[in-house]
Amino acid sequence: MTTTESTRTSEPVLQLDGVRKEFGGVVAVQEFNLSVYSGEVVALVGDNGAGKSTLVKLVAGVHRPTAGQIRISGEEVTATDPRQVRELGIEVVYQDLALADHQPVYMNLFLGRELVTGPFRRLDKKRMARETQALVDELDVRIPSAKAIIRDLSGGQRQGIAISRATQWAKQLIIMDEPTAALGVAETAKVEELIDRLRRRDLAILLVSHDLDQVMRLANRITVLRRGVHVGTRMTEQTDKNEIVSMITGLQAADERA
Ligand SMILES: Nc1ncnc2c1ncn2[C@@H]1O[C@H](COP(=O)(O)OP(=O)(O)O)[C@@H](O)[C@H]1O
Ligand SMILES: [Mg+2]
């Protein structure tokens, strides 16, 4: 347990206790313990195959743990039900973004939750476009218009839209799986600013990233997985890239503790 965790008084937004996931005989994640609080960015790092995406899917309600418990604001997630998790205020931005390329930005923001109006329940496009514009303005995501078609946008703009959509619906926690992996330097900087803005809005963010410089810049805490084993969690200001690299690779005996 880190110092912050032991001195905190508020309830964690997300709490994982002894979480384990097996696929057939393969143990993808074992004995994973983590609490995430509002207003912080926690980075989840580890090599390919370490179990990061499995953990994301466990929290998202796509998979059920083989053992252990997942609580969202104290409430245990019992069903394998992504909708229940979304209703509890948790949104996931997946690596492929899951945007509808041929649809305008505003339809994407309301995908599956479209606003309707009148006795015939027609799509309320005006209101969706208006609310979308207000949100992207507030988050400083620069796009030509809320009516722009997704496929006409740059990679950075699309990522901005996927994150805006999550922000629109997430009341508590946003999980991002490699949000800047496909982006250039300037676009990455914009997304990092956006993540920082979400933290200041008191959301909790669980960030999966390969980019350790980014992790050191953004995260309050860093938690490391190696081949399904939870190596440990560090406060960013009390660690450095070298320690994190050795936790990821297991190449320094001193880091086997934790
Ligand atoms: N649906 C699945 N069925 C079987 N094995 C899986 C499944 N998903 C992940 N795994 C295995 O679990 C381990 C962790 O994978 P994953 O969570 O995707 O790692 P990461 O995202 O860190 O690269 C790997 O050995 C992977 O092959
Ligand atoms: Mg993965």
**Cα–Cα dist 102/150, whole Å:** 6
Give yes or no for a contact between 235 and 69, defined as CB atoms under 8 angstroms apart. no
Residue 25: CB within 6 Å of ligand 1?
no
Query: 86-121 as b/e, with b when 16 or more CB fall inside 10 Å?
Result: bebbbbbbbeebebeeeebbbbbbbeeeeeeeeeee
Angle, helices 155-169/125-139, rounded to nearest 10 degrees: 110
Give yes or no for a contact between 69 and 16, defined as CB atoms under 8 angstroms apart. yes
The per-residue pLDDT for 22 is 97
**Cα–Cα dist 51/17, whole Å:** 16
Q: pLDDT (tens digit, 9 = 90+) per residue, 48-77?
A: 999 999 999 999 999 999 999 999 988 888
What is the fold of 10-89+170-258?
Answer: Rossmann fold (3.40.50)
Domain positions in the chain: 10-89+170-258, 98-169
**Cα–Cα dist 69/142, whole Å:** 40
Q: pTM of the predicted model, to two decimals?
A: 0.87
Residues 6 or more apart whose CB falls under 8 angstroms from that of 36 comprise 12, 13, 14, 15, 42, 173, 204, 206
- Of residues 93 and 253, which shows the higher confidence score? 93
Residues 6 or more apart whose CB falls under 8 angstroms from that of 164 comprise 109, 132, 135, 136, 139, 141
Q: pLDDT (tens digit, 9 = 90+) per residue, 163-202?
A: 888 888 888 999 999 888 877 788 888 889 889 989 998 9
Residue 184: CB within 6 Å of ligand 1?
no
Residue 186: CB within 6 Å of ligand 1?
no
Instruction: Take residue 156 and report the two structure tokens written for it.
Output: 């950075």
In a 13 Å sphere around the CA of 224, the CA atoms on its Cβ side amount to: 24
Pairing type for strands 173-177 and 90-93 reads parallel
The per-residue pLDDT for 31 is 95
Residue 58 identity (one-letter amino acid): L
Q: Which ligand is nearest to the CA of 48?
A: 1
The chain-wide mean pLDDT, for the chain, equals 89
Taking 50 as the threshold, does the pLDDT of residue 149 lie above it?
Answer: yes
In angstroms, what is the span from residue 230 Cα to ligand 1's centroid?
15
Give yes or no for a contact between 93 and 175, defined as CB atoms under 8 angstroms apart. yes
